[in-house]
Amino acid sequence: MVDPDRREAYRDTLARRLERRRDPRGRRRGARILAVATGRAASPAESWFLWRIVDCGFPAPSVNWPLYAPDGREVYRLDYAWPELRIAVEYNGYAVHSGHEAEDAARAEDLRRRGWIVIVVEAEDLVRPGRFEAALEAAFRQRGVDVSGRVPRALEGRRHREPRDRPIRTGRRARSSAMH
């Protein structure tokens, strides 16, 4: 694990190494994975949701982003935020949020009064991301950002070339036919 005080410098070093790669294969995927590997998620489920957001083709959000009041005190720490767009995704995991539904609803409403679009997600959305994916796309659209060209499964590996038209011959038959 990288020391939190040196995390950003380490990430910058990795980003520069990705940019300087002579072989472009994997460069885009590496940059997207680096955007997800922030070390800032507060739980494994938050890490999975961050992965899911980026894998759905959305830009990587700021993770556990602090929202400050005009007097400088921290009001909230948003699970995932696009601060320049005032879009927030809040993950209400069972372990932390069970029994706190009223407080969570009041927090989301306060954020909306402050001009934020708030999308609340739960563990179910990890398995079936369609609802939160549509809500997030609508939030970006509402802010004037076109995400219609996003690429789903952006973090999955892709083959860099198609399979050959014919199988490669190996073994004794291949050697004997090469001699004729």
Print pLDDT tens along the chain (180 aa): 456 777 778 778 878 888 888 777 777 767 777 777 776 666 777 877 888 888 888 998 998 999 999 999 999 999 999 999 999 999 887 555 456 778 889 999 999 999 999 999 988 887 788 899 999 999 999 999 999 888 777 666 656 554 444 444 444 544 444 444
Q: How many structural domains is the chain composed of?
A: 2
Helix or strand run (H / E) with residue 19? helix 7-20
- Residues 71, 100, single domain; the answer is yes
Half-sphere exposure (Cβ direction) of 177: Cα atoms closer than 13 Å: 7
In a domain, 160, yes or no: no
Supply the range of the domain harboring residue 20: 8-37
CATH number for 138: 3.40.960.10
Q: CB neighbours of 106 closer than 8 A, spacing ≥ 6? A: none
pTM above 0.85, yes or no: no
- Residues 17, 79, single domain; the answer is no
In a domain, 119, yes or no: yes
